[in-house]
A and B are shown apart, each in its own frame.
Chain A
Amino acid sequence: MATLDGAVKDYGSKRIGPISFTVESGEIMGFLGPNGSGKSTTIRMLLGLIRPTSGSVRLMQKDPISQHEKALADVGYSPELPNLQTFLSPAELLTLTGRLRGLDRRATEDEIPHLLEDVGLTEYEGYKISRLSKGMVQRLSVAQAMVGAPKVLILDEPTIGIDPAGAVHFRSLFREFVRNGGTIVMSSHILSEVEALCTSLAVIHSGSVVYRGELQKFIPTWVGSRTVSIELGEAADDGLIQALSKVKGVTKLTAEKANLLIEVSKDSDPRGEISRLVIDSGAKLLSMGYSRDELQDAYVNSMRGTTE
């Protein structure tokens, strides 16, 4: 769907790249990196808005600069902090987008109500965009990216400014898009959103890709150890703590009343054994899972270039 092969953008004072990665069909690829790392430049090279100084970029197997029309025919883009045409209404903007995507008037008119409903803007159809809130403009930006049922969505911070309920709704909208055969490239700083939605990651730092692969493999790559968090119905007895400490792969155990934090080596996954021991001890297991901050830890470590 999208390939960058040693793509470099040299701004003179700053150089981004060489960047190489491929996005396969059906992926939801999270694109992570600190501000100024080159995420937007990469996205803009993919969209044919800027030319790579060297290397090559392909979108839908086409050069997005010389074959812009064909490369972008099945691609929708929602920019970060979208600057939409404030003098138009949402319906007018979507109509314009439909025309630019080559849809006829009838097809566009049929699609607009569904898109506005999908993003929760039906009742604002006729408002001028200048009167919409930031979150509504963000919703509209996603809607305009989805006009004409593209196969690929490139989303730059798609849920920024959107309320939590809206963000949850958008996640299900994006999952449905992928279930229907779509592919998503999504840049975001909201790690929980990336963790909840993405199947793979590309992490960029100082203009270079430091990780490209499955999301689940990113965490073990960039953390020295993982932490299993357990919540019991009551405080664990010494026997259980002793037994858990002896499980293969467990390096450290901290018990605080009914909560246990078990540090395990990154190459092992002793969750099955741990849960069996807890249940056999007769304790009530309320919850168990890897620590929620793991992606953040791994991301921070990948930026530092260390697993510590």
Chain B
Amino acid sequence: MRPGRILALSRYEIRRAVARRKVLAVVALTILIDTAPYYALAAAGTSLIPATYHPFLWVVGIFIPQAFFLQFIALLIAAGSMSEEYEQGTAEVLLSKPVTRREYFLGKYLGGYILLMLVVALNAVLTVSSATFIFGPQAGLQVLPLVLLVQVFSGLVFYSVAFMIGELVRRSSLSYILSSAVFFTSQIVGVYLTVIYDLTGQAMFKTASLYLPTSPVDSLPLLLAEPRLPDTVQFLFKLGDVGAVETSAVLSAVLIALYSVSAIVIAVTYFSRVDIAKRIT
């Protein structure tokens, strides 16, 4: 494998994803959701919020989008990555070059993933600067690099699953629908299992909910950040239902890796064995 070709394909994938306005629209929406609450609070009056929370309000903007929007952006970037190339007939143009299928796959996978990293970084910069601008200097930011790293790692699950589905179905609209269905079903089933556990007290429902793909993704950044931040911040974690389910960071990391690697292996295996279709209309 030649790194130069993988890099060229990664750059190409970033350009391609940005050229799709739906990805840009969701990124813009995420930025709005990250920063608007700070400006809304400023409009309402910063004095309404106890001063002890002011240095830690960056936590709200960093963790609230984690559970939903970052995963959804990961999904939107990945779902069309392979499928749109088949639909537009551009896959055959690229693969008729001296590019191996592994280089093509890796280049596109990495390109989309780098874009996701950039979105996470942009989200962090906007959140911290908005919180600083409105509520003054922020504290506990030494945790932020770790949190961002873990958010990017957590994003692997739905990024890889959507990437896999895109390759398997090779239709972008179907890929978006199925990938979103996996994400929302996991969220909804998780809620149901938790409710059933609360009602019945039977541990199996709780255990089952921990193994759903959304559970480790939602939990890991919080599990790693919470012990490293003062107790006063715990209240902020409760905002917007931000709260880790009871599980270990190690189990969450293993589950994230397991889901992601499984999806990648399936996608690579399928891609390396199946014909490159002519333009699909």
B interface SS class: helix
Chain A, range 48-107, C-beta contacts under 8 Å to B: 48-51, 68-73, 75, 77, 79, 82-88, 96-97, 99-102
B98 touches A72 (CB 8 A): yes
Return chain B residues, CB-CB under 8 Å to A96.
Answer: 8, 12
- With A79-B93, A85-B16, A87-B19 in contact, do A102 and B279 touch (Cβ < 8 Å)? no
Stretch at the interface among B84-92, B171-179, B187-195: B84-92
Alpha-carbon distance between A86 and B93 when the two chains are bound, in angstroms: 13
Q: Is A40 an interface residue, CB under 8 A from the partner?
A: yes
Whether B279 lies near A100 (C-beta < 8 A) is no
Residue of A nearest to B1 (CB): A69
Chain B residues closer than 8 Å to A83, beta-carbon distance: 88-90, 93, 279
> What is the minimal beta-carbon distance from B173 to any residue of chain A, in angstroms?
18
Asked if residues A49 and B97 are in contact (CB atoms below 8 Å), the reply is no
Tell me which residues across on chain B come within 8 A of A40, comparing CB atoms.
278
B9 to chain A, nearest CB (A): 7
Q: Are A50 and B276 in contact (CB under 8 A)?
A: yes
Given contacts A47-B96, A87-B15, contact A100 B89 (CB under 8 A): no
Instruction: State how many angstroms separate the Cβ of A108 from the closest Cβ of chain B.
Output: 10
CA separation between A50 and B95, bound complex, in Å?
11
Tier of interface size on chain B? 20 to 34
| CB-based contact A68/B101 at 8 Å | yes
Count the A-B residue pairs with Cβ separation under 8 angstroms: how many?
78
Closest chain-A Cβ to B7's Cβ sits at a distance in Å of: 8
In Å, the complex CA distance between A281 and B128 comes to 100
Inter-chain contacts of B95 with A (CB < 8 A): 47-49
Contacts of B276 in A (CB 8 A): 44, 49-50
User: Which residues from chain A contact B94 at a C-beta distance below 8 Å?
Assistant: 100
Contact B5 A102 (CB under 8 A): yes
> Which B residues between 1 and 60 are near A, CB-CB below 8 angstroms?
2, 4-5, 8-9, 12, 15-16, 19
> Which of A68, A72, A75, A82 has the most chain B CB within a 10 Å cutoff?
A68
Chain A contacts for B241, CB-based, 8 A: none
Whether A87 contacts B98 by the Cβ 8 Å rule is no
- Bound-state CA distance A26–B34 (Å) is 63
- Pairwise interchain contact A69-B275, C-beta atoms closer than 8 A: no
Q: In the assembled complex, how far is the CB of residue A146 from the closest CB belonging to chain B, in whole angstroms?
A: 13
Q: Is B99 an interface residue (CB 8 A)?
A: yes
- Given the interface pairs A49-B276, A51-B275, A85-B16, the reply to whether A79 lies near B92 with Cβ below 8 Å is yes
Q: How distant is B32 from chain A, measured CB to nearest CB, in Å?
A: 25
- CB within 8 A of A84: which of B93, B98, B100, B278? B93
- Given contacts A79-B93, A96-B12, are A69 and B98 in contact (CB under 8 A)? yes
Report how far A132 CA is from B275 CA in the complex, Å: 30
Of A40, A51, A73, A85, most buried by chain B (CB within 10 Å of CB) is: A85
Interface residues of B in 236-281 (CB under 8 A from A): 275-276, 278-279
Bound complex: CA A101 to CA B98 (Å): 6
Contact A99 B98, CB 8 Å, known A40-B278, A49-B275, A84-B93: no
| A50 with B275, Cβ < 8 A, contacts A87-B16, A100-B98, A101-B98 known | yes
A69 touches B96 (CB 8 A): no
Partner of A102, one of B2, B15, B92: B2
Given contacts A47-B96, A88-B15, contact A79 B5 (CB under 8 A): no
B12 nearest CB neighbor, chain A only: A96
Q: Which residues of A contact B4 (CB under 8 A)?
A: 99, 102
- Say yes or no: B90 contacts A97, CB within 8 Å: no
- 20 residue pairs A–B, Cβ–Cβ below 8 Å: A44-B92, A44-B275, A49-B95, A49-B275, A50-B275, A50-B276, A68-B101, A70-B98, A73-B98, A75-B96, A75-B98, A82-B89, A83-B279, A85-B93, A96-B8, A99-B8, A100-B9, A100-B94, A102-B2, A144-B93
* Interface residues, chain B, with chain A CB atoms under 8 Å away: 2, 4-5, 8-9, 12, 15-16, 19, 88-90, 92-101, 275-276, 278-279
Which 7 residue pairs are nearest across A and B when measured between Cβ atoms? A83-B89, A87-B19, A99-B8, A50-B275, A77-B96, A72-B98, A100-B97
In the complex, besides A69-B100, A79-B92, 9 extra interface pairs with C-beta distance below 8 angstroms are: A47-B92, A49-B92, A49-B276, A69-B99, A77-B93, A79-B89, A100-B9, A100-B98, A144-B93
